[in-house]
Structure 1
Amino acid sequence: MDFIDRAKKEIKENWFKNHVAEIKGEEGLQVIYWGKPGTNMYRTKYVLSGNNVFISGDIGEAVYSLTDSATLDNIKDFNLGYFTSKVEAFCEDRWDFDQSLAKKELIEYWDEYEKNEQYDDAREIYKGILSAIDESTSLDAYRAWLMPVHQDTSVDSDTMEYVWNFGKRMPYRLIGYWVGLQMVIEQLSSKEGKTA
């Protein structure tokens, strides 16, 4: 099971277990309250207005600007990647940085493309990238630490472009916003099926 699948499972089973959707308004302006009755744990409010989705609550805030109208009917077909690409504002960094993943990607990349054979100073480049990973807790910090590696060694820009994204992970919150909306849609569809 990959990172995204594990995140979806955890979010469904832990964050949003026993959550119930309550909708106010109508298409064009809907407010969806998503929470477990009697608690405030992982309570989330989705506001669908025009082409925008506004999210607030226990898991933070975000604004999405869609190319289609922000309706549950349109959103139900969005996959995680597409929906997340529409985020305009988010309460945290757009990407998380995972040191373990970055190290794994560095090793795989270096071996697969035989970088030791391409550069006279390959050992310095590798050590510089590894040091950048070890010194960083965010993607921005990692990228800042990488700049001297690029400037002080013979590494080319194609290699740096690839290395630039080592350790880049989608935050659980962004996954959670999408998972919550999908669960809301599923729950409401299930209710409509029972009443039809």
Structure 2
Amino acid sequence: MAGYGIDTIKRWFKNHVAELKILNDETQVLIWKQPDTRVYEIDFVFFKNMVYITGDMRDAVFNTTWHTSWNCNKGWRIDLSYFASKLSCATYGKYAWDSRKAVEYLVEEYRDCFDGDDYEYLDAIAYIADQYIEDEYDLEVIEIPYKESFNDERSLLQMCLTINYALTSSSTEEFENSLKSCSDFEDFNDFWEWGYCCGKVINPDIEVYLVALQMAYDQLSSKVRQNL
């Protein structure tokens, strides 16, 4: 699940209107939606230090260390990873799988296994990523560009396997299971000590919630200033 992108999220919300209901000193309800439709609607309930989220963008609960409200933290201007750390539960969990990020990470980690220059290395990676070789790993036959520049055959084989499984997997679990069940995969360099986080990204829904809070704050605070 790749990220949506900040521009896409803001486009979803360009016609949204924030409606705030203050129930008591400890409870507020913020409805963030486009009038006359529930598409991309998000409903936030702030209660003490909790934020409960529901609507059209799935469900989540955040357990914070501060008293939550529509205007706390200077309009929810906080770091995404810090916000994600307060997540208690969500429809798709705290983390998601991103094949593109997984490959980027692996390409960087295996760079030291190549003795040639960067252009040659990227040529080899491009070939590997394009082939989806799967179980046909006879490295004496595979015509990988600049194959002779890899430090050893084991590093080349492991790199082929990890990159191809990263490209074809739809989750962290599928990636791990594919490698662990592959007879050609050898963890000769403690791969699972550094490769377990491959492709692991923050659930993109969390960024959606944070952007929604920030945009709703900007809209509501603008109305407050106009009414002064």
Alpha carbons 2:18, 2:220 under 8 Å: kept: yes
1:185 is matched with: 217
Give, in angstroms, the shift of residue 174 of structure 1: 1.5
Select the structure of larger CA radius of gyration. 2
> Secondary structure of 1:164's match?
coil
CA distance in 1, matches of 2:218, 2:225: 10
Choose the corresponding residue for 1:136, options 160, 165, 169: 169
Find the residue that maps to 1:121 and give its secondary structure.
helix
1:115-158 CA-partner distances (Å, limit 9, x unpaired): 754x6621222123124313410122223334357x9524333x
Equivalence for 2:98: 98
Specify which of 25, 28, 43 is matched with residue 26 of structure 2.
28
The Cα shift of 1:186 comes to: 1.0
| Structure with a larger share of its residues in helix | 1
Among 51, 55, 60, the residue aligned to 2:58: 60
Following superposition, the deviation at residue 170 of structure 1 comes to 2.8
- Which residue of 2 is the match for residue 89 of structure 1? 89
Return 5+ residue gaps in structure 1 as ranges: none
The separation in 2 between residues aligned to 1:58 and 1:175, in whole angstroms, is 15
User: What is the letter of the counterpart of residue 113 of structure 2?
Assistant: E
2:177 aligned partner, one-letter code: A
Give 2:158's aligned amino acid: I
The percent of aligned pairs where both chains have the same amino acid is: 27
Distance in 2 of aligned mates of 1:148 and 1:156: 18
Supply the distance in 2 between the matched residues of 1:78 and 1:128 (Cα, whole angstroms).
Answer: 38
Q: Deviations over 1:67-112 (max 9, x none)?
A: 111123334232222111111101014322222332232222211x
Render the CA deviation track for 1:170-196: whole Å, top value 9, x for unaligned: 333211111101111111111111112
Q: Name the residue aligned to 1:114.
A: 113
Residues 124 and 52 (structure 1), Cα distance of their counterparts in 2 relative to 1, 3 Å cut = same
Q: Name 1:78's counterpart in structure 2.
A: 78
The RMSD of aligned alpha carbons is 2.5
Distance in structure 2 (CA, Å) of the matches to 1:184 and 1:167: 31
Which amino acid letter does the alignment assign opposite residue 84 of structure 2?
T
Q: Please give the secondary structure, in 2, of the residue aligned with 1:72.
A: coil
Report what 1:69 is aligned to.
67
Aligned-partner residue type, residue 101 of structure 1: K
| Residue pair 1:132, 1:145 contacting (<8 A) in 2 also | yes
Greater RCO, CA 8 A, separation 6+: 2
Report SS of the residue matched to 2:169. coil
Whole-Å Cα distance in 1 between the matches of residues 153 and 187 of structure 2?
A: 8
Could you tell me whether the CA contact under 8 Å between 2:100 and 2:199 is conserved in 1?
yes
Aligned to 1:37: 35
Contact kept in structure 1, 2:179 and 2:185, CA below 8 Å: no
